Amino acid sequence: MQYHALYQIAQIRDIEKQAKASLAIGNPTARLPDSLMITAGKAAAQLAWRILDAASKKDVKKIMILAGPGDNGGDAFEVAHQLAEMAQLSPEDTHYEIHVLICGEPNAYSNDAKKSLLAAQTNSIHWHTIDPLQQAQLQRDKLPQLNFSQFDLIVDGLFGIGLSRPITGIVAELIIQINHSKACPVLALDVPSGLNADTGQVIATIATTAEDAVAVIASHTISFIANKPGLHTASGKDYAGIVVVDDLNIDNGYYPVPYAYLSNPSQLSTLIPARKQNSHKGSYGDVLIVGGSTGMQGAAILAGRAALYTGAGRVYLDLIEPSSSVDYSHPEIMHSSIEEHDLSNAHVVIGPGLGHSPNALNRLRHALIHAPALVIDADALNLIAIHTDLQALCRNRSNLSWRTIITPHPLEAARLLNCDTGKIQADRCLAAQTLANQFRCTVILKGSGSIIAAEIMGNSAEANKALAKTDNHPNDGESRSTQPRSDKTQICINPSGNPALATAGTGDVLAGICGTMLGQGLSAFNAACLATYIHGLAADDCVRENFGPIGMNASELIPAVRKVLNQMIQ
C-alpha cells in the first residue's frame, strides 16, 4: 500500500475485517504467526529499535511501553514481546530495560491482545499497572511513580482508532507528563493517542478547554494498514511527527478507493511542462493580478512578483488604487485594467488587497463572467460570501468548463459556508469538499496540511448534509461515519510547509503561483496541488537556511519558491 493513499477509520475497519476473515483461525489459543497484531507489533518493534539506536548510545537503554485498554494496547504488548526478544539477541555490551505500563483490564482484552500479553509475560519485562477503576478520576497520588525523563524511548500504545471520547483522569495526566518531559523519542502506534485519525483534531468535547484536550506528542508514528488523513492536517502534523506506514502485508485487493491522497512530489514534478528552446514569453502564460486597494497595494505586488518568479511569461497588475501601479523594483511587471484586457488568454488572480469598494465588486463580477482561468483569493472571497449573485456566477463557471481556484483560509472558508472556523477546522477535508461542491471549483483550504479539493461530479447535497451533522457537535470526538466518501470529490493533503508561513502576504504569494500554474496549461486541481506544494517547500527551504520559522517574510519566500521549482525539474 502506497504512502500517499489516505484512508478513513471506517475504511480501515472494513479492510481489517476482510483481512482478518481471510486468516485461518485454527486453534484459538495458538499464536497465529501471521495475525495482524503480530505483524503490527513486529513492524513497530523494528522501527522502535532503529529509533532507539539512533537516539541513544547509552550502555543501558530504557524503554517505556504504554498499553491502553483496547487492541492498540495489544499492539503495545506485541511490541514489548518483540523488543524483549530482540534485546536477548543483541550484543552483551548493551543492556535493554523494558517497562510496560498496563492501563487496561487484562481480562477485558481481545483474544489477540491476550495472546500478545501472554507472550510478553514470558520475557524479562518490568510491569506496572494503573487500576482501570481509578482511571476516570484524576488522583495524582495514584499515578505510578515513573520519571519519564529516565527513558530513552517511549512507545504509545494507549489508544488507536478506537478512541471514542476525550482522554481524562490519570491517563490524561500521564500524557501531559510525557509531553512535558520531552526527554526522548516517542513512537505512537497507529495514531498518537488522543488524535482523531480522520480529522487531525485532538478529541475533545464542546465543554473541553484547549488546555484540557490531551493527545500524545509523538516524534514518530507508525500507521497500520494504511496512512490516515488526520496525521497530516489540522493538529496532525504537530502530534504525529514522522509518519511511517506499514500495511501488515494485507492484500491490495482489500483496499477500496482512497478517501484522499497526500500530494506526491515525484508526480507533481511531472506536471511542470518542459521548456522548449524554441519558445517565447507568449508560451508561458499571461497572469493579471487584480487587487491592491489603498494601503493594500503590497498584497497585489507580492502576488505579481510570485507569478513572475514562478515562470509566467508576462505579468500585469490592475491596482484598485491606480496612483501607484508600478512595482519599481520589478519594472518587468506591467499595468493593465481587467476591463480592457483581453481575458481569453489571461490567467486572472483576483483578491489580494482588493477591498470591498464598488470598484472591487465590479472587477470581481467582470472576472467571474469573462475570465476563463481565475484564482479567487482574500477579499474577493469575502465579497462572494456576502453576494449571492456572485456565488451563482462562480458556480456557473464549471458549466463552461472554465478553470477556477479559490484559496480560502479557515475564516474565509467559514464565511463562504456561513459557519464558524471551529466547524471548518473540525473536519478540514469535509469542509474543503463541501466548498468544492458548493462553488463547483477547485479549493485550497489553507492551514497546516492545506487541503486541495475539487469536484469530480456535482453532488453538493450529500456533503452539505454531512457538514450540517457536525453543526451541533463541532468537536465532540465522535468518528463521523456519516460523512460521505470522497468519490464525488478528489482530495489532496499538502505535506509541505511549516509555521514560517503564518505571516501576512504568504497567501498572496500562493495566489500568484496558482495564476502562473494555470498559465502553464494545468488543470485547476493540478495547478492548485503543485502551487501549494512548492509554496510550502519553499518555506521549508527557508527554515533550513535559517530564514525561519521565526521572521521569514513573504518577499523572502518568493525567490525560495523559484529555487525549489527549478530544483524539482532537474
Ligand X SMILES: NC(=O)C1=CN([C@@H]2O[C@H](COP(=O)(O)OP(=O)(O)OC[C@H]3O[C@@H](n4cnc5c(N)ncnc54)[C@H](O)[C@@H]3O)[C@@H](O)[C@H]2O)[C@@H](O)CC1
Return binding residues for K(+).
72, 156, 193
Q: Considering the rule CB under 6 A, would residue 202 count as an interface residue with ligand X? A: no
Q: Which does 417 bind (CB under 5 to 8 A by kind): ligand X, K ion, none?
A: none
Segment 258 to 297, residues that bind K ion, using CB under 5 A: none
Site size toward ligand X, by CB under 6 A: 24
Segment lying near K ion (by CB under 5 A), choices 140-148, 188-196, 384-392, 512-520: 188-196
Phi, psi for residue 415 in degrees, rounded to 5: -65, -40
Please, what is the minimum distance in Å from the beta carbon of residue 21 to ligand X? 11
**Edge-to-edge strand order for the sheet containing 346-350?**
5-6, 260-262, 489-493, 451-455, 442-445, 403-406, 373-376, 346-350, 286-291, 314-319, 334-335
Q: Which three cell numbers stand for residue 292?
A: 491592491
Q: What is the DSSP letter of 557?
A: H
Segment lying near K ion (by CB under 5 A), choices 35-43, 191-199, 431-439, 445-453: 191-199
Tell me the chain's radius of gyration from C-alpha atoms.
26
What does each C-alpha distance from 370 to 341, 342, 374, 504 come to in angstroms? 10, 9, 9, 30
Q: Which of 189, 390, 424, 560 binds ligand X (CB under 6 A)?
A: 189
Please, what is the minimum distance in Å from the beta carbon of residue 162 to K ion? 10
Segment lying near ligand X (by CB under 6 A), choices 63-71, 295-303, 449-457, 559-567: 63-71
* 66/317 with CB nearer K ion: 66
Q: Considering the rule CB under 6 A, would residue 47 count as an interface residue with ligand X? A: no
Please, what is the minimum distance in Å from the beta carbon of residue 220 to ligand X? 15
- Helices 506-519, 554-568: axis angle to 10 degrees equals 30
Site size toward K ion, by CB under 5 A: 4
* 68/507 with CB nearer ligand X: 68
Q: Considering the rule CB under 5 A, would residue 66 count as an interface residue with K ion? A: no
Q: Considering the rule CB under 5 A, would residue 243 count as an interface residue with K ion? A: no
Q: Considering the rule CB under 6 A, would residue 165 count as an interface residue with ligand X? A: yes
Q: Which of 151, 159, 239, 439 binds ligand X (CB under 6 A)?
A: 159
Of 19, 71, 22, the residue nearest 44 (C-alpha): 71
Close Cβ partners of 393 (under 8 Å, ≥ 6 residues apart): 365, 368, 369
The Cα 502–Cα 550 span in angstroms is 9
Of 483, 491, 424, 475, the residue nearest 11 (C-alpha): 483
Q: Which does 40 bind (CB under 5 to 8 A by kind): ligand X, K ion, none?
A: ligand X
| Contact in structure between 544 and 410 (CB atoms under 8 Å) | no
The Cα 379–Cα 96 span in angstroms is 59
Segment 65 to 124, residues that bind ligand X, using CB under 6 A: 68-73, 75
Segment 9 to 28, residues that bind ligand X, using CB under 6 A: 16, 20
Q: Which does 167 bind (CB under 5 to 8 A by kind): K ion, ligand X, none?
A: ligand X
Of 501, 500, 343, 273, the residue nearest 407 (C-alpha): 501
* 66/568 with CB nearer K ion: 66
Q: Considering the rule CB under 6 A, would residue 224 count as an interface residue with ligand X? A: yes
Segment lying near K ion (by CB under 5 A), choices 181-189, 202-210, 240-248, 298-306: 181-189
Reduced to 3 states, what is the DSSP secondary structure of residue 415?
A: helix
- One DSSP character per residue, 241-268 reads -EEEEE-TT--GGG--S-SEEE--HHHH
The Cα 377–Cα 404 span in angstroms is 11
Helix then strand count (H, E) for the chain reads: 18, 18
Segment 97 to 156, residues that bind K ion, using CB under 5 A: 156
Q: Which does 239 bind (CB under 5 to 8 A by kind): K ion, ligand X, none?
A: none
Q: Which three cell numbers stand for residue 404?
A: 477556477
Segment lying near K ion (by CB under 5 A), choices 94-102, 183-191, 282-290, 561-569: 183-191
Fill in the amino acid letter for 541.
D
Q: Considering the rule CB under 6 A, would residue 190 count as an interface residue with ligand X? A: yes
List residues forming the annotated binding site for (6S)-NADPHX: 71-75, 160-166, 190, 299, 353, 409, 508
Close Cβ partners of 261 (under 8 Å, ≥ 6 residues apart): 4, 5, 6, 490, 491, 492, 493
Segment 148 to 167, residues that bind K ion, using CB under 5 A: 156
Please, what is the minimum distance in Å from the beta carbon of residue 251 to ligand X? 14
φ/ψ region of 90 (left if φ > 0, alpha if ψ in -120 to 50, else beta) reads beta
- One DSSP character per residue, 284-342 reads G-EEEEEE--TT-HHHHHHHHHHHHHTT-SEEEEEESSGGG---TT-TTSEE--TTTS-
Q: Considering the rule CB under 5 A, would residue 188 count as an interface residue with K ion? A: yes
Q: Which of 8, 56, 135, 193 binds K ion (CB under 5 A)?
A: 193
Please, what is the minimum distance in Å from the beta carbon of residue 297 to ligand X? 51
Please, what is the minimum distance in Å from the beta carbon of residue 30 to ligand X? 16
Please, what is the minimum distance in Å from the beta carbon of residue 82 to ligand X? 13
Q: Considering the rule CB under 6 A, would residue 534 count as an interface residue with ligand X? A: no
Close Cβ partners of 466 (under 8 Å, ≥ 6 residues apart): 430, 434, 480, 482, 483, 484
Q: Which of 189, 287, 492, 558 binds K ion (CB under 5 A)?
A: 189
* 65/510 with CB nearer ligand X: 65
Applying CB under 6 A, the residues found at the interface with ligand X are 16, 20, 36-37, 40, 68-73, 75, 159-167, 189-190, 224
Applying CB under 5 A, the residues found at the interface with K ion are 156, 188-189, 193
